A and B are shown apart, each in its own frame.
Chain A
Amino acid sequence: MTQPVEAFERAGIFQLAGGAEGRALVFSQPLSFWGGIDAETGDITDHSHPGLGQNVAGKILVMPSGRGSSSSSSVLAEAIRKGTAPAGILLERPDPILAVGAIVAEFLYGIHMPLVVCEIDGIATGDRIAIGSGEDGRAITRVQTERQPLKSPGCFP
């Protein structure tokens, strides 16, 4: 079955610049890295989070904001070192704690994990995401969506 493909671009601001590609993993609820993600595996371990049991490694993690303890910086840096971190993170609101983890990992290990602030509406888990830089240094996020075929014309909005 062929699926209609839809693509769009979102301009955003880099908290930490870089390029990345991957499948979106989208949460409407913020996830704390400390106490929420196992840096050994990238598995989500927070029992109160809807993403419990999923894995962030290599994904583009999309969520409204960060959450919780500043120890999340260490957990993110450790996950980037071990290769279990997301390939990039899209947030609606800037997060100083995740920024620190990504900045320090880049400094220590030379691994870039871009952190972008942009509108996240319309991005769904499984979408193909490519993060790159625009001419003015802004973040450009390309989203390629594979929509499910419509069940019937009646549900067209």
Chain B
Amino acid sequence: MTLELSTRDQSMLDSELGPSAAAAMKILVAFSRAIGAHSLLDISGAHIDGCLYHGKAGLDFVERLAEGGGRVKVPTTLNVGSFDLIHPGMVKMPAADEVPARRLMKAHMELGCQATFTCAPYQTRFRPEFGQQIAWGESNAIVFANSVIGARTNRYGDFIDLCCAMTGRAPAWGLHLSENRRGRILFELDVPDPEPSDSLFVGVGLIIGQASGDRIPVIAGLPQPRDEDQLKALGAAAATTGAVALFHAVGITPEAGTLDEAFHGEAPEETVRITRSDIDQALARLSTVPDGSRLAAVSLGTPHFSHEEWMRLLPLLREAAPSRGIPNYVKTGRATLTRLQEEGALAGMEAFGLVPVADTCTYVTSIMERLDGVVMTNSGKWAHYAPGNIGVTVAFADMKDCIRSAAVGHVVRSST
């Protein structure tokens, strides 16, 4: 099996475009051979999930590219880092860990990456368009770009996303190619007159993630979502319990106008029915405490809160007016935060416990003041990872119940 390189690929490999591009191309070529790709293709953008410090190798790699004076060749956004650079002092970390973690974020900026530090790059001005080839890291961003927008990326991450950005190229394989975007497993939502509630989308996401394996799931019978945030929550949950990089929702997502289109005219390999009780059970597994448990904090915005989500949250906060000092951490992209500040939307909200967090997330770094009580969240992804990552106990509920609970000081839920 041979890998065909373009003249420009070859000149990058031969160091004609500098040592950094050569290094990135060398790794990309080795990777393309390892996965059996026959050629590379142009990408129009990249999203790098490389700003969380996992050890010296990750930093050594970025430093090597930065030393060579290299720059990314396509518009490139950055995923969350270990710090909230907008709110200094929010993250507490020993100095020995802080130095390399800060350097990692800065070194990526020196390569010309945009300081977005968000897991929701699709909410920024760098959002790709239908059909565009991109190289994205971060599981929720990948599934959103492929499924909701119809852009094309594989599950990139760790090193390779940056090599694609530094060369403007990606291996022509997997979900970049039309024939590999065909649905393989059908999920039929067997819920009479389903309300498009936030928790329904989370529950469906948890279930398809668990059951799909490496097959592309197609969902039939999903109600029209209120907005794309519900599809964001579905995809994030599916990429949490499984490795879903693309789902089709018939009549909703852009490559699934009909069932036939989603399956490219072929038959599903398997059909799975999802009942109301399946959804209730999947959601119940996210909560390890009963109603009435004492509440330590609320954590919203995993993935990062959109402007629309803020517009739904702020009236709820004003109405419930929580005054018990229970912090309500809301993670959001810095561009969204700037827009809210310009609109004056956040004025006086700290009185209700609101703590906006930018650039990072509460489950990847030490932000939360207290980890000894129950934390409520409306995020399937946060509920899944936070107990393992930071040792908290979680109660999952929709946003309204999270705010009501903050007002009374203990977990109250009108529904799961």
Contact = CB atoms under 8 A, between A and B. Distances in A.
Contact of A99 (B26, B34, B58): B34
Given A74-B55, A75-B55, A107 B26 contact: yes
A105 B57 contact: yes
B159 A100 contact: yes
B31 A81 contact: no
A127 interface: no
A96 B158 contact: no
A25 interface: no
Given A104-B27, A107-B26, A74 B35 contact: no
Contact of B34 (A34, A77, A78, A115): A115
B60 interface: yes
Given A70-B137, A81-B57, A104-B57, A96 B35 contact: yes
Contacts, number: 85
Contacts of A115: 34
A15 B158 contact: no
B49 to A, nearest CB: 7
Contact of A73 (B23, B139, B157, B243): B157
A103 interface: yes
Contacts of A71: 54, 157-158
Interface residues of A, number: 29
Contacts of B61: 77, 104, 108
Nearest to A117: B34
B23 A15 contact: no
A74 B57 contact: yes
B23 A107 contact: yes
A103 B56 contact: no
A16 interface: yes
A39 interface: yes
Contacts of B57: 74, 77-78, 80-81, 104-105, 108
Contacts of A100: 27, 31, 158-160
Contact of A103 (B31, B139, B243): B31
A73 B159 contact: yes
A45 to B, nearest CB: 12
B345 interface: no
B273 interface: no
Interface string B26-60: 11001100111000000000000100001111101
A22 interface: no
Interface of A: 15-16, 34-35, 39, 68-75, 77-78, 80-81, 94, 96-97, 99-101, 103-105, 107-108, 115
Given A73-B158, A99-B31, 5 more contacts: A70-B49, A73-B160, A74-B58, A97-B158, A107-B23
11 contacts: A16-B30, A69-B139, A70-B155, A70-B158, A73-B160, A77-B58, A78-B55, A94-B35, A99-B35, A104-B61, A108-B60
